Amino acid sequence: MPCLANAAAHPNLLRIMSTSHRDDLHTPPFFDFHQNGTSWSIHDTDTGEPVVIDGRPQTGLNLDEADELTAVLNRVKWQAAALRAGRER
């Protein structure tokens, strides 16, 4: 789970941690974000490794960037999984 230390200072942190972004409430997130000193990074929840997009690790982000990008990445992955599940029926 993302770090809760700054939740009160940043309302979006609680939003990203909620299930409101998910269509399937039983599917855990594929990605989450963590604070690293003064910056944030996005990690794959299976491997724990930083997410890499276009060859660039998603590290050194500010909280807003990490929050927004994590939400988008999870939404895309959940939608892709739902589409695959629909085709397999």
Domains in the chain: boundaries = 11-88
**In this predicted structure, what is the pLDDT of residue 81?**
87
**Ramachandran class of 54: left when φ > 0, alpha when ψ lies in -120 to 50, beta otherwise:** left
pLDDT for the residue numbered 87: 79
pLDDT value at position 82? 87
Q: Between the ranges 10-14, 65-69, 84-88, where is the mean pLDDT highest?
A: 65-69
* DSSP secondary structure letters along 33-89: EEEETTEEEEEETTT-PBPEETTEES-SB-HHHHHHHHHHHHHHHHHHHHHHHHHH-
Q: Give residue 28's pLDDT.
A: 82
Structure letter (DSSP) for residue 32: E
CA 46 to chain centre: 12
Predicted model pTM: 0.68
4-54 pLDDT tens trace: 444 444 444 444 444 344 444 557 899 999 999 999 999 999 999 999 999
Which two tokens mark 86? 């629909």
